[in-house]
Amino acid sequence: MRGASRRVTVRPPRERTGAESMIGYSIDKPPSCIRISSWRALAMISGLTIVSGGQTGVDRAALDWALEHHVPHEGWCPAGRWAEDGRLPIRYRLRETASTDPAERTALNVQDSDGTVIFCIDPHLEAGSALTAALARDAERPLLIVPREWGVARAAREILDWIESNHIRRLNVAGPRRSEQPEAGAWARCVLEALGG
């Protein structure tokens, strides 16, 4: 009825977790992130294959992004398809290493790619991320560390420039597992979405 008052219920905002308040979105559901897509970005993305190890956190974010955007993916995972949340689902087309040692998976993914990008919250790398960086440096392979302090727009620009200047076609995406840096996977996913999907 015209002119009738409508009742509006105003709900208080949901309290964000510590991680959500830092990055401004839910860890499980990244927002429709800003997109800096250009013909240049889309051409580079269309020529990429994502290489990743399937661990929770950054690895899984990269694989999920690749699946959703029809970007080819592959990589190595430990024997038994081990990940910290259980056996890695078969939808991730990864090959199993001979051993259950995650270090073997890490080394093979560095070796089988043209370059490695490491997404992280804290730029001081530890555990598997530190090993990944060391292996890339030892092998003199291109390496780019992308801390959250860069912000999405800068991170996306830096990655595109780095991919172009290093002629990356097989991109190893690595970073902390969820139990080490719970927000790192969402950070990686948001930057990947900004590149264009």
**More confident call, 194 vs 47:** 194
pLDDT at 3 over 60: no
pLDDT at 191 over 70: yes
Interstrand relation of 49-51 and 73-74 (parallel, antiparallel or unpaired): parallel
Q: Note the pLDDT of residue 122.
A: 82
Residue 58 belongs to domain spanning? 31-195
Which residues, listed in sequence order, are joined to residue 51 by a DSSP beta bridge? 74, 172
**pLDDT digit string, tens, across residues 134-180:** 999 999 999 999 998 898 888 988 998 899 899 999 999 999 888 78
The CA distance from 145 to 137, in Å, is 12
Query: Is residue 20 assigned to a domain?
Result: no
Query: Is residue 16 assigned to a domain?
Result: no
Query: Is residue 9 assigned to a domain?
Result: no
Query: Is residue 39 assigned to a domain?
Result: yes
Query: Is residue 128 assigned to a domain?
Result: yes
pLDDT winner (highest mean) among 35-39, 90-94, 175-179:
90-94
pLDDT at 32 over 80: no
Q: Note the pLDDT of residue 180.
A: 81
Q: For position 158, which CATH number holds?
A: 3.40.50.450
**pLDDT digit string, tens, across residues 106-132:** 999 999 999 999 999 887 788 888 999
The CA distance from 180 to 160, in Å, is 27
pLDDT tier for residue 60 given thresholds of 50, 70 and 90: very high
Q: Note the pLDDT of residue 42.
A: 56
pLDDT at 37 over 60: no
Which residues, listed in sequence order, are joined to residue 144 by a DSSP beta bridge? 117
Report the percentage of the chain scoring pLDDT > 70: 76
Report the percentage of the chain scoring pLDDT > 90: 44
Q: Which residue has the tokens 């292996």?
A: 135
Query: Is residue 2 assigned to a domain?
Result: no
Query: Is residue 187 assigned to a domain?
Result: yes
Name the pTM for this structure.
0.77
Provide the number of structural domains found in the chain: 1
pLDDT tier for residue 82 given thresholds of 50, 70 and 90: confident
Q: Note the pLDDT of residue 34.
A: 44
Query: Is residue 163 assigned to a domain?
Result: yes
Taking residues 57-66, what's their average pLDDT?
A: 92
Residue 95, classed as helix, strand or coil, is: strand
